[in-house]
């Protein structure tokens, strides 16, 4: 009897993960250039297989040996969503990339593949915590979501993000949380999966799991980045002296709220297709889908945005290339 696809892919991922670390220790390719996507895609499939073993459900595999098409959409949305934060970093100047591939086509391909891991790894970590019933008993009785609360949340989120752009030296931490306050009310009104609706329907556990998943992912991000050759470093005002790996200690406080942002931005990205693959613990209002013309326009604008940000990263955020050259 053949093994289920999630279990088989997890075994393969374990082998790739171990081999990647061995190649890095021996200072051999492809681990030198592609360490980040190799370890994180391995992690995603390993955790997916483990969760499947515990719960009988897979985030990646729809049935048989076919990967769920919504998972590819999650990966695509992940790349687009992280590019939003890269765009903010052009103003914040908090992180920089080193020893990346010098050829643009290879570099951009690797960049998209790497950024495509962000949402899946957070989703898989949250589902892993869920498989152990973490925060299942959390309650939120008496929470009432009013139009005034939604407007206040959006105003606070917008002001936080605006402050990041106007006074980045002092307001840079607000980028980690501003999008959650700004976007989740949009998801709530549209009937999309929403953290506010989770709280309203007495299901706050997902919020707590996301916060925990963000911290777990942040620790692993920085651990694996510390040993990588192609990696990133930080220049964070006021808090850069005390570090764990490359990250200033206080910087780890940004990972939990980032996980909330990743969730709400992903739900917004999936809305045109009603294609969220993230399991929903609470009832949702009827989904209102945008028109086909609006969806097509949004796709074109997203593609243009991605190209512009990738060009800007090449010019402003990359400090050195794998061939020894530096940014001019």
- Report how far residue 112's alpha carbon sits from residue 122's, in angstroms, rounded to the nearest whole number: 17
Q: What is the mean pLDDT of residues 56-71?
A: 86
More confident residue, 327 or 236: 236
Exposure string for 144-159, b = 16+ CB within 10 A, e = fewer: ebeeeebeebbeebee
| Most distant CA pair in the chain, distance | 61
Q: Quick one: pLDDT at residue 240?
A: 66
**Percent of the chain surpassing pLDDT 90:** 77
The SS3 assignment for 300 reads helix
1-5, 216-220, 242-246: lowest mean pLDDT where? 1-5
Domain assignments of the chain as residue spans, ordered by start: 5-317
- Report how far residue 48's alpha carbon sits from residue 308's, in angstroms, rounded to the nearest whole number: 33
Contact status, residue 224 vs residue 36, Cβ threshold 8 Å = yes
Contact status, residue 268 vs residue 185, Cβ threshold 8 Å = no
Tokens describing residue 205: 């556990």
Q: Quick one: pLDDT at residue 241?
A: 73
Q: Quick one: pLDDT at residue 191?
A: 87
- pLDDT surpasses 70 at 287: no
Q: Left if phi > 0, otherwise alpha if psi is -120 to 50, otherwise beta: which for 176?
A: beta
- Report how far residue 257's alpha carbon sits from residue 79's, in angstroms, rounded to the nearest whole number: 18
Q: Quick one: pLDDT at residue 285?
A: 53
- pLDDT surpasses 80 at 142: no
Query: What band does 274 get if pLDDT is binned at 50, 70 and 90?
Result: confident
Contact status, residue 130 vs residue 209, Cβ threshold 8 Å = yes
Per-residue model confidence as pLDDT tens digits over 149-200: 999 999 999 999 999 999 999 999 999 999 999 999 999 998 889 999 999 9
Question: 30: cis peptide before it, omega within 30°?
Answer: yes
Q: 305 phi and psi, to 5 degrees? A: -60, -45
């Amino acid at each position: 009897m053949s093994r289920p696809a999630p279990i088989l892919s997890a075994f393969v991922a374990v082998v790739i993960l171990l081999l990647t670390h061995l190649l890095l220790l021996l200072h051999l390719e492809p681990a030198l250039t592609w360490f980040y996507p190799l370890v994180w895609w391995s992690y995603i499939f390993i955790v997916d297989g483990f969760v499947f073993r515990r719960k009988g459900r897979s985030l990646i595999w729809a049935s048989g040996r076919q990967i769920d098409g919504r998972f590819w959409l999650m990966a695509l949305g992940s790349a687009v969503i992280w590019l939003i934060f890269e765009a903010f970093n052009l103003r914040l100047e908090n992180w920089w990339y080193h020893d990346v591939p010098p050829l643009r086509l290879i570099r951009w391909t690797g960049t998209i593949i790497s950024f495509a891991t962000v949402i899946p790894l957070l989703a898989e970590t949250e589902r892993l915590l869920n498989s152990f019933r973490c925060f299942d008993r959390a309650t939120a009785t008496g929470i009432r979501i009013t139009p005034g609360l939604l407007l206040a949340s959006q105003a606070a989120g917008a002001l936080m993000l605006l402050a990041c752009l106007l006074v980045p030296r002092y307001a840079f931490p607000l980028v980690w949380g501003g999008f959650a306050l700004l976007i989740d009310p949009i998801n709530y009104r549209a009937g999309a999966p929403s953290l506010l609706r989770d709280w309203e329907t007495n299901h706050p556990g997902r919020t707590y799991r996301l916060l925990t998943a963000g911290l777990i992912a942040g620790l692993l991000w920085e651990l694996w980045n510390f040993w990588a050759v192609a990696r990133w470093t930080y220049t964070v005002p006021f808090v850069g002296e005390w570090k764990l790996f490359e990250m200033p200690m206080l910087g780890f406080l940004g990972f939990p709220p980032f996980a909330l942002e990743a969730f709400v931005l992903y739900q917004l990205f999936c809305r045109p297709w009603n294609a969220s693959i993230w399991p929903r613990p609470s009832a949702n209002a009827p989904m209102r889908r945008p028109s086909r013309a609006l969806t097509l326009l949004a796709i074109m604008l997203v593609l243009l945005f991605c190209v512009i940000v990738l060009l800007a990263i090449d010019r402003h955020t990359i400090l050195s290339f794998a061939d020894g050259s530096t940014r001019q």
